[in-house]
Amino acid sequence: MANFFYPLIFLSDLVSISHLRAMAVGNKTIILGVDPGTVVMGFAVLHCEAKKLQVAHIDALRMSWTHDVFERLERIYKTIDELILEYKPDHFAVEAPFFGKNVQSMLKLGRAQGVAIACAIKHGLPVTEYSPKKVKQAITGNGNADKEQVWGMLQKLTGIVEKPKGFDASDALGVAVCHYYESLSPMAKIMGNGKAKDWENFIRKNPGRVQ
């Protein structure tokens, strides 16, 4: 299904209207962040309450290249399913695939991301996707920050001490924290407060915000 985007101002990126509604979080919410991969998939569960961020769980699913690709996709689905059933998140945030030159790698990564998203949708979770650059920008203020810089800020923001093996899990935590901060944006609050049920209503109620 195609995603339709609308021109909004006061946002650094184009964000779909359905995502803006989904992004608005309450004073207490749980976010499942995922960094998809066909061999390693990072995931993190973030508890957000009264502007306090706490990591409930962070880890990575590690698989072997020798395993059948469809077997790996099944493991990804089951892992996300188990996480949702155990931690009961309110939101699902996933990192967008990095567009490289290797087409086959991109296709495989897209499959992994699609399986994870499908599982979240099955459970009725709102899904939001963020580019790696957007995640870095939201956490460090620099879209070109390296992974060590991002991890350092995540430690300060969440109080997490022990560094997970590899950056897949910390990348997933970064996606969850990014989603939390994006949910605090003025536009997300407008679209998530139930007063603007669709794009037409939003334009009518906020004529000064649309060019």
- Copy the structure tokens of residue 209: 């915000």
Q: Which residue has the tokens 């603007």?
A: 196
Catalytic member of 95, 129, 171, 182: 95
25/47 Cα distance (integer angstroms): 11
Active site includes 35? yes
CA distances from 79 to 32, 58, 124 (A): 12, 13, 17
95 is known as an active-site residue: yes
Residue count of the chain: 211
Measured distance CA(174)–CA(55) in Å, rounded: 11
Question: Whole-angstrom Cα distance, residue 120 to residue 129?
Answer: 12
* Rounded Cα distance, 2 and 111, in Å: 16
Tokens representing 147 are 């992974």
Catalytic residue among 129, 168, 171, 182: 168
Is 146 in contact with 110 (CB distance < 8 Å)? no
For the annotated catalytic residues, the residue numbers are 35, 95, 168
